[in-house]
Chains A and B, each alone.
Chain A
């Protein structure tokens, strides 16, 4: 048989194969391709431009560069997810600098850098800005460690900057003139987001920058930009597609308000709106002229806007696909959303009063959730904070929405049962996993026994990420999940009675996962040590806030039955990291 007929691709020149690979963007597919043969591995290596690293400690910068020398776009994630909720010490790790240092030394042609939960320093930003001539895009999400001085370096030195997107970072604002540092020759900006900055900015510098950035599509300002300023900005940039609004503390003068409305009317391309962190309700009305065009609306910071105003606005947003909102909208408001927003795909309802300090009767309940599930056929992602839930509601939601990819329910009070039957919510969540066959991410809450995990293990075949808090009875719960969910990548557990038996049952499972987090559970030091011994390909980290150097010495003599406060383990090909602080012990 002619070999060319049997193995045609081997007879294509490399350039052709490479060209074919160019069409394959998904990093998972690329990973698969690289396993086919040595030659494909080689071709794939040199043609890979985008690399995603879900855990910065799983691999080293040097190995990354060796394998993918033609890297242009890098995504790095650092701290574990629960760092968002203050469960990870500030100094835990996730430092950007070694990466920039290595990339710079190797003269990689970096163009794009996306970071999540990393510690970034001004020095790193300065080095970044000077090392990569074609650098275009910097996206920082939930990072910290830098100041506006670092931003000034980026502004000053990145000649081809297209995107500077800062989302919810902790940035020390020196209230300097970083915006001034964009040279007059810089006209390439497409996206600028500095909403998370706390300090003042130079308004006129911003206006000039926006005026000369004719390609600007996305602008999200911080609360230092007042109403008049916003009006001028929008007048310079009627082509905006995505707008983040600042702050209007006082009631707007009628004249200013009219000017704003006029400017907004001209922004016919505007599709996405966010911000409003300290905005009186009346200012939302300025956006009525374009609300029908909106596909994305994030009012989750708009604590000042009352529920009825939210409802009035949202009911006209008939094209909404994404809605992030506070629970002040209430069940009634969600019913309005359900009847108005038929294109809705993603909904997030955040608590306006997380600790129940106010006598808040307008929070949402299972009624709102059911209404949304019934009214929005395209809904696939939900994050819902509420005070109460019932199995019946969850079962109804499961029937209405079998297409959920992400289902995250957070009942504010831990261990709260079905508020009508007082039973656990096992059946409700069971219905969700059984019905939503494509479910990839799940967060559970409320009163839950081992049974819910049996359901999850049995039915959640596509589940990749599971978050558990205050749930379960015995080790069996965790075992059901580890044994059942074949595609599980991230498991994070807090305050649940899972211990060594569950942790150690199948050590090999952790090689198929990115990471496991367990805090305030029943695992002991001895159990973790045993795990570390049996799985050298894992970094098993114990985080103990009160540790100092002496403490670490003492611990070796301490009882191995001592419960571990926080355990974080992850697979890695580069062994123990060298940058762990004293409060972290790597076994």
Chain B
């Protein structure tokens, strides 16, 4: 949330999924003035996804904790919390990263998933994209096929939205073989729309570059099958394709906040 001071680590779970080897230079680049000191404390850890899962699924809330109640650091809220005479005992507060506020805004999980719905997603969310509607046992007397036909043969369409452009598009990942190709497609899809949004006075449309390396004004991110938000380009292409559910082009300056809004686990209460 704007105005919320974030001191502390970003949820470690999200960063588990970014292999240490390909750590981005600009994450720790002191020259990058866009990032404040908090982001520099980010530690990229290596670990398998779901490492922190508890059986009862209660891990979701562990990762998204409110910041400690140290009143002096709450910039906006600070005015309205009366200074507490009893001090907080940091040790007894087992809270970690500030991150997004749990359960805010008060919108049910069912609604939060809306914008994320990729049309190819039917059945359990944990199903990877490659196994859609496969091997369905059909007891139908007439032997008629199950309801939904698979999407156009061989096509893997995921939604893609871009910051600043109200219209979303769809990308067929199966017709791409590499991140470079994808980046090119994104540029093609959005260059004109973006130019139309900005009131460029007779300027030519600017190409959208630097989507993958953090150098551009925009960066390509994606949401995986578990709802986590990640930077595009870190994992091998085929791994990416099998887990990506949705793409987003965000402003490079908004990276840290965008990635911490990974409320995916909250919605998957039963997975």
A residues sitting closer than 8 Å to B (CB atoms) are 82, 84-87, 89-91, 142, 144, 168, 170, 172-173, 175, 177, 180, 196, 198-205, 223-226, 229, 247, 249, 277-278, 300-301, 303, 306, 326, 350-362, 385, 410, 412-415, 443, 447-449, 467, 469-474, 494-495, 497, 520, 522, 524, 545-546, 558-559, 561-563, 581, 583
Contact = CB atoms under 8 A, between A and B. Distances in A.
A449 B105 CA distance: 20
A561 B93 CA distance: 12
23 contacts: A89-B58, A196-B110, A199-B124, A200-B146, A202-B147, A203-B147, A204-B142, A224-B147, A224-B148, A277-B114, A278-B119, A301-B111, A301-B114, A303-B115, A355-B261, A356-B2, A357-B258, A357-B261, A385-B107, A467-B106, A497-B80, A520-B66, A546-B62
Contact of A225 (B139, B147, B248, B261): B147
B88 A563 contact: yes
Contacts of A353: 115
Given A199-B123, A414-B104, A545 B61 contact: yes
Task: State the majority secondary structure of interface residues on A.
Answer: loop
B1 interface: yes
Interface string B97-141: 000111111111111101101010011110000000100101111
A447 B86 CA distance: 24
A160 to B, nearest CB: 25
Given A89-B58, A249-B119, A301-B114, A546 B1 contact: no
Contacts of B144: 203-204
B238 interface: no
A38 to B, nearest CB: 45
A86 B115 contact: no
B180 interface: no
A170 B58 contact: no
Contacts of A142: 108
Contacts of B84: 497, 522
A168 B107 CA distance: 12
B237 interface: no
A86 B109 contact: yes
Interface in B35-86: 56-58, 60-62, 66, 69, 76-77, 80-82, 84, 86
Contact of A90 (B57, B92, B141, B166): B57
B92 A559 contact: yes
A86 B147 contact: no
B124 A85 contact: no
Contact of B86 (A82, A410, A495, A561): A561
B161 A415 contact: no
Contacts of A144: 269-270
Sorted nearest first, the 10 A-B pairs with minimum C-beta distance are A85-B103, A249-B119, A303-B114, A203-B147, A359-B164, A87-B103, A86-B266, A355-B261, A199-B123, A497-B81
Nearest to A169: B110
B261 A90 contact: no
Given A224-B147, A473-B80, A303 B117 contact: yes
A358 B161 contact: yes
Given A84-B106, A350-B111, A413 B122 contact: no
Given A89-B58, A546-B62, A559 B89 contact: yes
Question: Which residue of B58, B100, B258 has the most chain A CB atoms within 10 A of its CB atom?
Answer: B58
Contacts of A473: 80-82
